Amino acid sequence: MYDFIIIGAAQAGLSMAYELEQLGKNYLVLDKENEVGASWLKRWDSLELFTPSEFNNLKGMDFPKPKGHYPNKYEVADYFKSYVEAFNIPIQFETLVTEIQDKTDYFIIKHEEGFYEAEQVIIATGPFHIPYTPPFHTKIDSSIVQIHSDYYKNPEQLQEGKAMVVGAGDSGYQILDEISKTNRGVYFSGDTDVKTLPQEFLGKTLWWWFTKTGYLSFSKESWLGKKISKAKQPVIGVDVKGILNRENVIPVGKTIDAKQKLIVTEQAKLVDIKNIIWATGYRPKFDWIEGLELDKSGYPVHHRGVSNVDGLYFIGLPWLHTRASATLGGIQKDADYLGNYIREKNNKKEAVFS
């Protein structure tokens, strides 16, 4: 019987492991991958953070790169590995949790090889669960290569011929930028009227301005927080207009249907596509947790990570409390809050039994 089981060994899970270390708890981190940082390493090869090093610190250890440096995915994974070694965090890899049963006084955490028991559980699996592609993707001819951005690495995965990138978020535009530099024809399916923000402005990084103005600190319950969370998120550090103006990039509007080799968009019917990259996001999946209340979007109902199930917590979700909650550097404040909440809860419990 553990005091705590943490599920997920990326920044959210490691941050809570640090808190539990300070509290002297008996805990274990479970992760479905085979190494620290795997969730970052599996993303596309050219990925770089749009937050500079000084804003990517986990509690107790600064990111080991100079101020103003924008880390790549390999540097993030190395940082996590150093963090685990520095604080001797116990992790059980290749352990996919399939069910959590609430036994009132404790939890049973089932996985493919057996189960663990713990008095309390922290879910740190992040927001990216099920890669989403439109249902009509199954109607597309098998000769066309289809890759979700979750599995995209680099243009070498693509076959010869034209490609289409679907999705107008950060990932969609970054992948469009990379693929269009290979000089192949690329259709872009998505919103072209997006807000963009530079990584640096007036000699300061964007994240410096975000921090200085308090943009990252508005809670989701505040008036400004509600406005920001419902607004369309800007694309950061990408020259959207420059990319869309390239001769080999052709915007075609939203993709609405497909039949074999015919791809139907708002602006065209395309028959010459050989590759499709779906940068169409993810859907949450929390139905493996017994008794958990979910909101209309499928995310857990909670207050700053404290769920409706006593002893069950969440961290690393988008807007767990603020805009910064799902960022590498922003996880610290959420971990602090949960660490203090757990400390106070345990103190009350001890007072009752003393």
DSSP structure string for 7-70: E--SHHHHHHHHHHHHHT--EEEE-SSSSTTHHHHTS-TT-B-SS-GGG-PBTTB--SS-TT--
Distance CA 314, CA 124 (A): 6
| Residue 183: strand, helix, or coil | coil
Residue 63: the pLDDT is 94
d(CA 7, CA 121): 8
Asked if 2-129+284-353 and 131-195+232-278 have one fold, the answer is: yes
Residue 176: which H helix or E strand, with range? helix 170-180
Of 40, 21, 43, the closest CA to residue 31 belongs to 40
- Say which DSSP state 159 is in: P
Question: Residue 124 pLDDT more than 70?
Answer: yes
Q: Kindly report, residue by residue over 292-342, the tens digit of the pLDDT.
A: 999 998 999 999 999 999 999 999 998 787 777 888 888 999 999 999 999
What pLDDT was estimated at residue 207?
Answer: 61
> b or e along 282-298 (b: 16 or more beta carbons within 10 Å of the residue's beta carbon)?
eebebeebeebeeeeee
Q: What is the pLDDT of residue 36?
A: 94
Q: What is the pLDDT of residue 351?
A: 73
Give how far Cα 182 sits from Cα of 161, 165, 177, Å.
11, 14, 9
Handedness of CA 76, 82, 86, 91 (dihedral sign): positive
Instruction: Determine how β-strand 145-148 pairs with β-strand 273-278.
Output: parallel
Return the bridge partners of 109, or none.
Answer: 100, 116
Class for the domain spanning 2-129+284-353: alpha beta
pLDDT surpasses 90 at 141: yes
Predicted confidence (pLDDT) at residue 104 exceeds the cutoff of 70: yes
CA gap 59, 317 in Å, rounded: 18
Residue 271 has pLDDT above 80, yes or no: yes
* 89 Cβ contact list (under 8 Å, min separation 6): 14, 17, 18, 21, 29, 83
Query: What length does the chain have?
Result: 354
Q: What is the pLDDT of residues 6-22, one digit of tens each?
A: 999 999 999 999 999 99
SS3 170: helix
Closest CA to 343 of 313, 300, 299: 313
* Topology of domain 131-195+232-278, CATH: FAD/NAD(P)-binding domain (3.50.50)
Domain ranges of the chain: 2-129+284-353, 131-195+232-278
Report the distance separating Cα 187 and Cα 92, nearest Å.
43
End-to-end CA distance of the chain: 22
Which DSSP category does 153 fall into? -
pLDDT of 224 reads 73
pLDDT of 101 above 80: yes
Residue 354 has pLDDT above 70, yes or no: no
102 and 111 Cβ atoms separated by less than 8 Å: no
Q: Estimate the crossing angle of helix 331-353 against helix 11-23, to 10 degrees.
A: 30
Q: Which range has highest mean pLDDT (107-111, 212-216, 232-236)? A: 107-111
In whole numbers, what is the pLDDT of the chain averaged over residues? Answer: 90
Could you tell me which residues are beta bridge partners of residue 251? 188
Nearest to 185 by CA among 196, 194, 176: 176
